[in-house]
Amino acid sequence: MPDSHPKTKRPSMFRRFRKDRSGVSAIEFVLIFPILVALLAGTVDFGQALMVSRKMNQIVSTLGDMIAQKSSWTTSEATAIITGSTTIILPFSTTNLKIKLAVVDVASDLSAKVNWGLSYQDTVPAANSASPVTVPTTIAQSGVQLVTVVATYQLTTPFSSLLEPVTGVSTYNYSKTYIMRPRVKDTITLD
């Protein structure tokens, strides 16, 4: 007796595999996960770099502004202000922070030479040496001193070495400068 039901064709293994979508999400996740981690690392790294840049601007401007507010300082007072300004960099380490403070004399030819200076973890600017900051002639005035501050910092983030193949940088280097005229008199002395 002939079979009244036609034989059902079984789909081939390839067709079944092609139609089976049960692992697609897992495969997509595995492919996208490294990209998401790299984006997160880059965002954290860039955020820290911007935060340190802002803090460095605050250090030089705060220090320069505070020194400019008095016409006479003792070495211990000025050193305390420099040391206090380093706390602005926190929670980042102060280990790689260097600060040079110099009060410079402006000559009649508008050249600037150091009158006195102090530093934090750096060489002290020597008296009569050239200003550590290039003083624009637009703000230089003969007989008026200027407060100059130079701060440098090196930041190594947890991701900077991972991102070095992409960015080409393993450590971020910052150098900020600030110039301020004295607020009370034309000169500032250090006793």
Q: What is the pLDDT of residues 11-52, one digit of tens each?
A: 566 666 566 666 777 788 888 988 888 788 778 888 888 999
Q: Please write the tens of the pLDDT for every residue from 92-128.
A: 999 999 999 999 999 999 999 999 999 999 999 999 9
43-82: burial string, b at 16+ Cβ within 10 Å, e else: eebeebbeebeebbeebbbbbbebbbebeebeeeebeebb
The residue ranges of every structural domain in the chain are: 23-190
Pairing of strands 189-190, 172-180: unpaired
| Residue-averaged pLDDT of the chain | 87
Which of 78, 167, 70, 162 minimizes the C-alpha distance to 118? 78
